[in-house]
Amino acid sequence: MADKIAVNGVKKSFVSGKQSLPVVGGVSLSVADGEFVAIVGPSGCGKSTLMKIVSGFERADQGEVLIDGVPLLRPNAKGIVISQHGSVFPWLTVQENLMFGLNGDGHGDKAALADHYAAMVGLKGFENSYPRELSGGMLKRVEIARALVVKPEILYMDEPFSALDALMNLRMRTELLRILQEERHTVLLITHDVEEALYLADRIIVLSPRPTVIQASFAVPQPHPRKLSSPELQVLKDAILAELGL
Ligand SMILES: Nc1ncnc2c1ncn2[C@@H]1O[C@H](COP(=O)(O)OP(=O)(O)OP(=O)(O)O)[C@@H](O)[C@H]1O
């Protein structure tokens, strides 16, 4: 079977005036169906640029991205991006936000589906609330539910929890794992937080400084729920931090 995501020899530079800034220096990567891959790397190395290329929002100068063996030329309905900035519509209620992406037929009772996903992320009873009435963590849950309600095969997450406080960040990690146990997705997560990657991912890829290439890759074979204090994860954490020069 083809990989869910295959990244082959992707390179990208940005041109500003006469200057060319090489950002992605040649990245090849395969992600299996249902796999959770986290990407860590130094600030400004090109993580978000790589994610934009892999999700179809940016074109590579060289190389290609295949989703289920098909070249990706633009954002594709199989994948949804969740970013740190958030994209919940403030003028719509939770239920209306969740129904927003369900255009066209084939979704049955949209309100019921929206309410099902609201409940899945712990927002039962808040279906008719507006975003201004919710906390930061609840807003993040709306965003996750809004991504999941369209049943994407791939979740692209770019620092999804970094705007949350530390406690809410920890809660959302657990919440995400619970949701992924209910509904299988292939996940690509960018994070600056090595512990977040160790807690969530099946595999952790360490990117080099810009122009970025894959510097190292670590499998995380531990079952969930994981204890970050376990000796195995501590050893992995030290090895990843060493790759990052820390
Ligand atoms: N559209 C663009 N035009 C020009 N330069 C860009 C563009 N997007 C990104 N860059 C540059 O590419 C480099 C990598 O940026 P990118 O956002 O991909 O890095 P990152 O690893 O995600 O950074 P951070 O960890 O700080 O979020 C930076 O030097 C940035 O200024």
pLDDT above 80 (res 19)? yes
Quick one: what percent of the chain has pLDDT higher than 90? Answer: 68
What separation in Å is there between the alpha carbon of 42 and the centre of ligand 1?
A: 11
Ligand 1, atom 31, lies closest to the CA of: 44
Ligand 1, atom 17, lies closest to the CA of: 48
Structure confidence at residue 15 as a pLDDT band (50, 70, 90): very high
d(CA 141, CA 137): 6
Ligand 1, atom 30, lies closest to the CA of: 44
Give residue 8's identity as a one-letter amino acid code.
N
Which has the minimum average pLDDT: 51-55, 63-67, 83-87, 137-141? 83-87
Nearest Cα residue to 40 out of 156, 144, 154, 159: 159
Q: What is the pLDDT of residues 118-132, one digit of tens each?
A: 988 889 999 999 999
What separation in Å is there between the alpha carbon of 48 and the centre of ligand 1?
A: 7
Homologous superfamily assigned to 1-78+154-246: P-loop containing nucleotide triphosphate hydrolases (3.40.50.300)
User: Is the ipTM, as predicted for this complex, more than 0.90?
Assistant: yes
Structure confidence at residue 166 as a pLDDT band (50, 70, 90): confident
What separation in Å is there between the alpha carbon of 2 and the centre of ligand 1?
A: 30
Q: How are beta strands 36-40 and 70-71 bridged, if at all?
A: unpaired
Structure confidence at residue 106 as a pLDDT band (50, 70, 90): low
Q: What is the mean pLDDT of residues 39-61?
A: 96
- Contact by Cβ (8 Å): 79, 154: yes
Place of tokens 């160790």: 198
Structure confidence at residue 2 as a pLDDT band (50, 70, 90): low
What separation in Å is there between the alpha carbon of 200 and the centre of ligand 1?
A: 25
- Provide the pLDDT for residue 149: 87
Q: What's phi and psi for 243, nearest 5 deg?
A: -60, -35
pLDDT above 70 (res 90)? yes
What separation in Å is there between the alpha carbon of 15 and the centre of ligand 1?
A: 12
**Sequence ranges of the domains in the chain:** 1-78+154-246, 82-151
CA-derived radius of gyration, the chain: 18
Closest ligand 1 atom, residue 158 Cα? 22
Determine whether the shortest distance from the Cβ of 46 to ligand 1 is under 6 A. yes
d(CA 202, CA 220): 5
- Contact by Cβ (8 Å): 189, 197: yes
Q: What is the pLDDT of residues 137-163, one digit of tens each?
A: 888 889 888 888 888 999 999 998 887
Which of 48, 84, 196 best tests ligand 1's pocket when mutated (most atoms within 8 Å of CB)? 48
